[in-house]
Amino acid sequence: MENNTAPERKKRVLSLIQPTAVPTLGNHLGAFKNWQSMSEDYDCLFGVADLHAITVRQEPAALRKQSTEMYALLLSLGLDPDKSIVFMQSHVPQHAQLCWLLNCYTQFGEASRMTQFKEKSQKHADNINLGLFAYPTLMAADILLYQSDFVPVGADQKQHLELTRNIAERFNGVHGKCFTVPEPFIGKAGARVMSLQDPTSKMSKSDPNPKASVSLLDTPEQIMKKFKSAVTDSEACVRYADGKDGINNLMSIYSCCTGKSYEEIENEFAGKGYGDFKVAVAESVIEELRPLQENYKRFINDTAYLNECMAKGAEKASRLAQRTLDKCMKKIGFKQI
């Protein structure tokens, strides 16, 4: 007897990244490293969040260049544009359309409680625009547009995901089931990579100290130099322990790049100084990033291929997005033709 049941749809995961600066080693080991395997297990959409970038003033040529570079970087991670949807947010106008609809289902008090708005308002006091305030509603539109089951979020975005869930539940409560209520994605734990100059704070692409973070596109020479100047301690013993934030950070990076346990690392560097250890960590990072950098050089110099991938990604994303938008507009009561 033949089985006519359709195969169960994979759960859908959405990941977007802003094109404001080249991501760091922290982004890679904390999240990107797992994206390729995630794309095998889930129905994935990966996008460049260029609409989000303009809440802060951008120089037009720089925004175009950085958005293209970020798109090339996504492909360089090994994401297959035939298996996953890899797209540019601004190429899918339904994001902005759904955002307006959801603005009307978002309470002013909810939006004003977002801590990121308060922080960015202080940082950009000369440009506290409405887009900055409504940014979380655009994020909700991004997520709900694709009926996303899961969204990988860092600590700074948990509040926004909670707002997205509230908006979805409110809309569904008023109009009946329309949106999937998303959950945070808890995947394989990535490394939490700290600053090389202040190992008590997270490595950040916006750190004003160029020695503090490793960019994914840093040359081997730059990577080696940064690790050699990394902050450690005076004990000169490679071991994982409280109070050894600098060494703990380097051990975490080395473990993530080599697959070695902390115990194996301690044994490997027993009796050796920090100089040897820093060089080994730098070399492991250089090898970790080598395939990504080689892919990136190939993609960034092939404009025709990038444009082709962007067009295909936009077409696939738009097709999914339009289904949700039509359903949403019908439920609200817009006359459709």
Tens of pLDDT, residue by residue over 219-271, are 999 999 999 999 999 998 999 999 999 999 999 999 999 999 999 999 999 98
Residue 288: CATH number of its domain: 1.10.240.10
SS3 for 219?
coil
Average pLDDT over residues 10-19: 94
Residue 300 β-bridge partners = none
Q: Which two tokens stand for residue 16?
A: 């977007």
- 211 domain residue, yes or no: no
Number of domains in the chain: 2
Q: Same structural domain for residues 60 and 186?
A: yes
pLDDT at 4 over 60: no
**How far from 196 is each of 31, 204, 223, CA to CA, in Å?**
19, 10, 11
Banded model confidence at residue 86, pLDDT cuts 50, 70, 90? very high
For residue 323, tell me if it sits in a domain.
yes
Average pLDDT of the segment spanning 172-185: 96
- Cα 267 to Cα 256: distance, rounded to the nearest angstrom: 17
Measured CA to CA, the distance from residue 44 to residue 41 in angstroms comes to 9
Band the pLDDT of 117: cuts 50, 70, 90: confident
Residue 200 lies in a domain: no
Helix (H) or strand (E) segment spanning residue 85? strand 85-88
- Rounded to whole angstroms, what are the CA distances from 71 to 65, 218, 287? 10, 18, 22
Residue 2 in any domain: the answer is: no
Give residue 185's pLDDT.
86
Position 43 scores a pLDDT of 95
> Whole domain around residue 76: which residue ranges?
12-190+303-332
Do residue 271 and residue 320 come from a single domain?
no
- pLDDT in the model for residue 5: 56
**pLDDT computed for residue 60 by the predictor:** 96
Phi, psi at 183, each rounded to 5°: -115, 155
Catalytic residue set: 120, 202, 205
138 and 182 housed in the same domain: yes
Does residue 215 sit within a domain? Answer: no
- For CA atoms 121, 23, 28, 237, give the dihedral sign: negative
Mean pLDDT of 55-76: 95
C-alpha 139 chain-centroid distance: 13
User: pLDDT-derived band of residue 179, with 50, 70 and 90 as boundaries?
Assistant: very high
Task: Specify if 212 maps to a domain.
Answer: no
Residues 287 and 311 in one domain: no
- Give me the mean pLDDT over the 25-39 stretch: 89
Joined together, the tokens standing for residue 19 give: 């094109």
Question: Given this model, what pLDDT does residue 187 score?
Answer: 67
Q: What is the pLDDT of residue 188?
A: 65
Q: Is residue 29 part of a domain?
A: yes
Among the listed residues 257, 303, 254, 259, the one whose alpha carbon sits nearest the alpha carbon of residue 278:
254
Which pLDDT score is estimated for 123? 75
pLDDT averaged over every residue in the chain: 92
Instruction: Please return the burial class of 161, using the count of CB atoms within 10 Å of its CB with bins 0-12, 13-18 and 19+.
Output: buried
Pair 181, 114 in one domain: yes
Asked whether residue 209 is domain-assigned, the answer is no
For the domain that residue 90 is a member of, what is the CATH number? 3.40.50.620
